[in-house]
Amino acid sequence: MKKNYLGVAALLFVGAVFGAVLVSGLGGVDSSYAQVKIGRETPPEITANPALMDFNNAFIQTAEKVTPSIVQITVVAKAKDNPLQGHEFFFPFRQDIPHETQGGGSGVIISDDGYILTNNHVVENATEVTVGLLDKRKFTAEVVGTDPLTDLAVIKIDAEDLPVAYLGDSDKLKVGEWVMAIGNPLALKSTVTAGIVSALGRNVNIIHDSYGVEDFIQTDAAINPGNSGGALVNLKGAVVGINSAIATNGLTGTYIGYGFAIPINIAKVVAEDLITYGKVKRGYIGVRIEEVDADLAKAMGLDKPAGVLIQQVMENGAAAKEDIKAGDIILEVDGVEMNKPNELQAYVAGKRAGDEITLEIYRNGDTIERSVTLKARDEDESASTKNSGIKKERKGDIEVVTFETIGLTVRDMKNKEYDEYNIDNGVLITKVKRFSKADNQKLFPGLVITEIDRKKVDSVSDLENVMEDKKGEAVLLKVIDNQGTSRFVGIEIPE
């Protein structure tokens, strides 16, 4: 029995010693829980390739520098087609069909005082344009001018000290060069994608006009709806193109491999004209042209397909004043080789009416030079669009005022309406434009505005006077419904 006691004691002693050693080895055990360590304590010993790190940093730095210059554009525009137009008798409720649509895209800030370059198709038929900056500020924009022939437009916001993008030289782009697309695709703000220049000088037939200029940069950087008007930039942070179109299967309308951008050299000339003149002062040679294929080259006596064939010299055009004839082949313009019609159109699109160019022409086996002073085309005008402000009318003794910049129509109230609303002052909202500022603030027909900036409103004239004084600022409205519920609404009044 004594031996058994001694054995148990020995086991207890050994266990205590072993436990002490174990605890000291683990640095102690927390009384509340056991500490679990995850991950390595030291980073893996990997030697980074300096050239690879520099390449990676080029993407990071480009995104950081350019993204603040890219804006998000939201547009309310007139619907292009109304299938019931002219059939009001048979469809008396046609007013329920939306006459306006809401869309958007991207833009590139090109001046610190608020000029922004974008696509024509982004702001086409716009009744309201709103610009959102990276710092979350929002501005109402004015359409300065548009150019459907290049699908470009310029808009303007009232702001200062904006981050301006650097506009590069698209003529120096090479196939295979890395580029990044920056914009707001699918309403995802400030998205950056990367790829290479897949091809240059693409004509994809999206501008349905014989005078349209298509000389797109093709890229496999992902471009989707909403990217339109955004920037295509190289790894030096220079904008080399304005994203404009995508290749799609027609079912989803989204990216399936390739996007297309307008060369920035064309965009710069268009933007300068729109800002200076409100329209493009583009020059034309005045010829109808066609590509030279292998059979045509052989028939004309050329060793290989080259140049652009003149099919017709337009009457009263610039070429008609010089010794230029149908059947001539333009090989070069100002020393630059021309092998496709869109290459010639793109080069001339970078010139203005009055500029002189030199053509190298192949004619009957000989090469000759001719100088042409470019001439404007009468139809080539792009007017700027401005909001008309306040519209007044009178229906009997009742005055009606429409504040077009915020999409709100009000009228003076009738005596019986004061009793119905149990009020003694105010003006009645009779119409709110869809997608307008008033609509965004949840104003609707049937509400009564009783105060503006905490002052009583007795007539539409009272409201109009304050609205005029507060252009570029915000006003506080007090409204009431026919149930007697009132609320305050803030709304910005564009200048």
CATH number at residue 473: 2.30.42.10
The amino acid at 356:
E
Tell me which of 56 and 80 has the higher pLDDT. Answer: 56
H-helix or E-strand containing 270? helix 264-277
Examine the domain organization and report whether 147 and 206 are in the same domain. Answer: yes
Q: pTM of the full predicted structure?
A: 0.65
**Domain end point (choices 229, 261, 280):** 280
Specify the number of domains making up the chain: 3
Q: Which residues does the annotation mark as catalytic?
A: 121, 151, 228
Q: Are residues 313 and 462 in the same domain?
A: no
Statement: residue 3 has pLDDT above 60? no
- Outline where DSSP puts E strands in 148-251: 152-156, 166-167, 178-183, 191-202, 216-219, 231-234, 238-246
Over range 215-230, report the average pLDDT: 88
Alpha carbons 474 and 19: distance in angstroms, whole number: 75
Q: Is 288 a domain residue?
A: yes
CATH number where 100 lies: 2.40.10.120
Which segment of 41-55, 72-86, 156-170, 343-357 scores lowest on mean pLDDT?
72-86
In a domain, 111, yes or no: yes
Say if residue 131's pLDDT is above 90: yes
- Could you tell me which residues are beta bridge partners of residue 108? 70, 117
Q: Give pLDDT tens digits for 344-387.
A: 988 888 888 889 999 999 998 899 999 999 988 765 444 333 44
253 — pLDDT class (breaks 50, 70, 90): low
pLDDT at 11: 58
268 lies in some domain: yes
Same domain, 152 and 261: yes
> Are 402 and 448 within one domain?
yes
Beta strands in 364-426 (DSSP E): 366-373, 375-376, 390-395, 398-403, 408-412
* pLDDT reading at 24 higher than 60: no
Query: Among the listed ranges 47-56, 442-451, 463-472, which one has the minimum average pLDDT value?
Result: 47-56
Give the pLDDT confidence score for residue 18 in this predicted structure.
Answer: 55
- pLDDT tier at 9, thresholds 50, 70, 90: low
Predicted confidence band of residue 233 (pLDDT cuts 50, 70, 90) = very high
User: In this structure, are 206 and 306 located in the same domain?
Assistant: no
Does 437 or 21 have the greater pLDDT score? Answer: 437
pLDDT tens across 257-309, in order? 788 999 999 999 999 989 988 888 888 898 988 888 888 888 888 888 999 99
The pLDDT assigned to 169 comes to 93
Shared domain for 147 and 253, answered yes or no, is: yes
Q: Residue 421: its pLDDT value, please?
A: 93
What does the pLDDT read at residue 97? Answer: 45
347 and 405 co-located in one domain: no
Query: Average per-residue pLDDT in the chain?
Result: 82
| Nearest of 379, 357, 380 to residue 370 by alpha carbon | 357
Name the phi and psi angles at 207, rounded to 5: -100, 105
Q: Is residue 37 part of a domain?
A: no
Domain final residue pick, 224, 255, 280: 280
> Per the domain annotation, does 36 fall within a domain?
no
Query: Backbone phi, then psi, for 244, in 5-degree steps?
Result: -135, -35
Tokens of 153: 């437009």
Longest dimension (CA), the chain: 132
- Same domain for 394 and 368: no
- Residue 5: pLDDT above 50? yes
With helix as H, strand as E and coil as C, how does 14-83 read? Answer: HHHHHHHHHHHHHCCCCCCCCCCCCCCCCCCCCCCCHHHHHHHHHHHHHHHHHHHHEEEEEEEEECCCCC
- Looking at the fold, whether 103 and 181 belong to one and the same domain comes out as yes
Last residue of a domain, one of 250, 265, 280: 280
Residue 7 lies in a domain: no
pLDDT value, residue 99? 60
Residue 383 is predicted with a pLDDT of: 37
Residues 321 and 298 in one domain: yes
Residue 86 lies in a domain: no
More confident residue, 100 or 152: 152
Token pair for residue 428?
Answer: 């009645």
- In percent, the amount of the chain with pLDDT more than 90 equals 40
Contact assessment for residue 241 and residue 180, using Cβ atoms and an 8 Å cutoff: no
Is there a domain that residue 89 lies in? no
Give me the pLDDT at residue 210, please.
66
Task: Give the pLDDT confidence score for residue 65 in this predicted structure.
Answer: 93
Q: Over 60: is that where the pLDDT of 444 sits? A: yes
Task: Please give the residue range of the domain that contains residue 426.
Answer: 390-492
Same domain (yes/no): 350, 321: yes
**Cβ neighbours of 376 (radius 10 Å):** 16
DSSP tag of 385: B
Shared domain check, 265 and 324: no
